[in-house]
Amino acid sequence: MKVQILGTGCPKCLTLEANTRSAVAAEGIEATIEKITDIDEIMDMGVMITPALAIDGEVVSVGKVLNKDQVLALIKGAK
Protein backbone atom coordinates (compact mmCIF):
# COMPACT_ATOMS: atom_id res chain seq x y z
CA MET A 1 0.00 0.00 0.00
CA LYS A 2 1.21 3.48 -0.84
CA VAL A 3 -0.02 6.40 1.25
CA GLN A 4 0.69 9.90 -0.03
CA ILE A 5 0.45 13.15 1.88
CA LEU A 6 0.01 16.07 -0.51
CA GLY A 7 1.04 19.47 0.74
CA THR A 8 3.66 22.16 0.44
CA GLY A 9 4.90 21.95 4.01
CA CYS A 10 2.43 24.12 5.90
CA PRO A 11 1.66 23.30 9.55
CA LYS A 12 -1.59 21.53 8.59
CA CYS A 13 0.28 19.37 6.07
CA LEU A 14 2.90 18.47 8.67
CA THR A 15 0.19 17.53 11.17
CA LEU A 16 -1.53 15.29 8.62
CA GLU A 17 1.80 13.62 7.87
CA ALA A 18 2.47 13.02 11.58
CA ASN A 19 -1.04 11.63 12.14
CA THR A 20 -0.69 9.35 9.11
CA ARG A 21 2.69 8.02 10.23
CA SER A 22 1.28 7.47 13.72
CA ALA A 23 -1.74 5.56 12.42
CA VAL A 24 0.37 3.29 10.21
CA ALA A 25 2.88 2.60 12.98
CA ALA A 26 0.25 1.98 15.67
CA GLU A 27 -1.50 -0.68 13.61
CA GLY A 28 1.64 -2.20 12.10
CA ILE A 29 0.32 -1.61 8.58
CA GLU A 30 2.78 -2.29 5.80
CA ALA A 31 2.71 0.92 3.82
CA THR A 32 5.05 3.24 2.03
CA ILE A 33 4.42 6.82 3.10
CA GLU A 34 5.34 9.46 0.54
CA LYS A 35 5.22 13.23 0.98
CA ILE A 36 4.42 15.11 -2.22
CA THR A 37 5.35 18.80 -2.06
CA ASP A 38 5.59 19.66 -5.76
CA ILE A 39 2.61 21.88 -6.54
CA ASP A 40 2.40 20.70 -10.15
CA GLU A 41 2.26 17.06 -9.07
CA ILE A 42 -0.38 17.91 -6.45
CA MET A 43 -2.49 19.69 -9.07
CA ASP A 44 -2.02 16.79 -11.51
CA MET A 45 -3.74 14.60 -8.91
CA GLY A 46 -6.73 16.98 -9.01
CA VAL A 47 -6.02 18.58 -5.63
CA MET A 48 -6.50 22.33 -5.31
CA ILE A 49 -6.63 22.58 -1.50
CA THR A 50 -4.08 21.03 0.82
CA PRO A 51 -3.47 19.06 2.88
CA ALA A 52 -4.69 16.01 1.04
CA LEU A 53 -4.32 12.28 1.52
CA ALA A 54 -4.13 9.68 -1.22
CA ILE A 55 -4.09 5.91 -0.89
CA ASP A 56 -2.68 3.89 -3.77
CA GLY A 57 -2.96 6.93 -6.04
CA GLU A 58 -6.59 7.72 -5.17
CA VAL A 59 -7.24 10.97 -3.34
CA VAL A 60 -9.43 10.19 -0.32
CA SER A 61 -9.33 13.46 1.62
CA VAL A 62 -8.80 17.09 0.62
CA GLY A 63 -8.44 20.21 2.74
CA LYS A 64 -8.76 18.46 6.11
CA VAL A 65 -6.34 17.69 8.90
CA LEU A 66 -7.44 14.17 9.71
CA ASN A 67 -6.68 12.75 13.13
CA LYS A 68 -5.03 9.35 13.59
CA ASP A 69 -8.34 7.47 13.83
CA GLN A 70 -9.75 9.12 10.69
CA VAL A 71 -6.61 8.24 8.73
CA LEU A 72 -6.76 4.68 10.01
CA ALA A 73 -10.41 4.32 8.95
CA LEU A 74 -9.54 5.45 5.40
CA ILE A 75 -6.56 3.09 5.21
CA LYS A 76 -8.61 0.12 6.46
CA GLY A 77 -11.36 0.99 3.98
CA ALA A 78 -8.85 0.93 1.14
CA LYS A 79 -7.57 -2.57 1.91
Residue among 5, 6, 13, 24 flagged as catalytic: 13
The b-or-e profile of 38-49 (16+ CB within 10 A means b, else e) is eeeebeeeebee
Q: How many CB atoms neighbour CB 71 within 10 A?
A: 23
Active-site residue flag, 21:
no
Active-site residue flag, 23:
no
Residue among 1, 8, 9, 10 flagged as catalytic: 10
Q: Which residues are catalytic?
A: 10, 13
